[in-house]
Amino acid sequence: MITFIRNFWPALLAASVVGAAAPAIGTFLVQRRLSLIGDGVGHIALAGVAIGLWLKISPLASALGFSILGAIGIDRLRRRAPEEGDMALALFFYGSIAIAVVVASASGNFSVNLFGFLFGQVLTTSLGELITIAALGAAVIAVVSLLYRGLLASAIDEEAATVAGVPVSVLNVFLMILGAVTVGVGMQVVGVLLVAALLVLPVGIARNLVRSFRGTMLTASAVGAGAALVGLFVSNAANTAPSGTIVLVVCALFVLSDGWRRTRVAMVRRQSEETV
């Protein structure tokens, strides 16, 4: 284990940053019923990666740019045409993945480079990449802390928050941008196909364990960071793919937490029936 830590400390740090930052944003997304937005933005990020590789510019920067523009576009589509939202989003998502495949195959990057972004390449995290990931992760957490009041009010009740004078539309754009940045950052660790899991599942776990919104957000971040570290150690011991192992650890914790919640609810019901 010591050797693993010594050799792969940038990977461990990168994984814990993504594990902590993703659920912090995810707490607001889940409450706004935007749980799968990370998945959709991931598709768009992949197109950004393919275009970045083709143009020989930083794939991470290109993915971030595409994700942010895509996330803002998704938000606008959702608001302008809610009744046709599903079809519009499908066009966005599948169009993006098609662009990724076509551009990557035309530029000869299909099998080698693109696969790394699809399924993550955390063990190869360099010091430079770690600094980028840490900076973006810290920025995400700082912005969430700064905008916490408005984000909380919008997550609880968008309509009441609007009437109270909270700039809900502006905060929605910020939330989508933060989600996109998180996907871009998480892509390095667990890959675009699995980053959405880190946005959503730790929030589900925390929601099963604590009552408050703030507690849910902090617990989800702690669970995400912890699961990312445990997943990396398990993958090293079992010689399995790191990204898939991290997400499987989160899935296992979700099942356990849900079992705990159900047991607790059943006990409370039994106690109240005995009292009656």
Partner 1 sequence: MRDQPLIELRSVSFSYETGRVLADVSLKINPKDYVVLLGANGSGKSTLLKVAVGLLKPTTGAAMLFGRPATDARARERVGYVPQRAVISSRLPATVLEVVLAGRAAQRRFGGFTRAERQQALRALERVGMQDFARRRIGELSGGQQQRVLIARALVSDPELLILDEPTAGVDRDSQIAFARVLRELNGDGVAIVIVAHDLGAVAPDVRRVLALHQGHIDEISLEEARERVGMFVEDHPGHGVAG
Q: Which residues bind partner 1 (CB under 8 A)?
A: 27, 31, 145-150, 152-153, 156-157, 159-167, 206-207, 210-216
DSSP states of 2-68: HHHHHHHHHHHHHHHHHHHHHHHHHHHHHHTT-TTHHHHHHHHHHHHHHHHHHHTS-HHHHHHHHHH
CB of 96 or CB of 216, closer to partner 1? 216
CB of 21 or CB of 153, closer to partner 1? 153
CB of 149 or CB of 262, closer to partner 1? 149
Beta carbon of residue 268, minimum distance to partner 1 (angstroms, whole number): 10
CB of 238 or CB of 273, closer to partner 1? 273
Beta carbon of residue 219, minimum distance to partner 1 (angstroms, whole number): 10
Beta carbon of residue 255, minimum distance to partner 1 (angstroms, whole number): 18
Per the rule left: phi > 0, alpha: psi between -120 and 50, beta: everything else, 58 is: beta
Beta carbon of residue 215, minimum distance to partner 1 (angstroms, whole number): 8
- Helices in the chain by DSSP H: which ranges? 2-31, 37-55, 59-80, 85-106, 113-119, 127-146, 148-156, 158-163, 168-190, 192-209, 213-238, 242-275
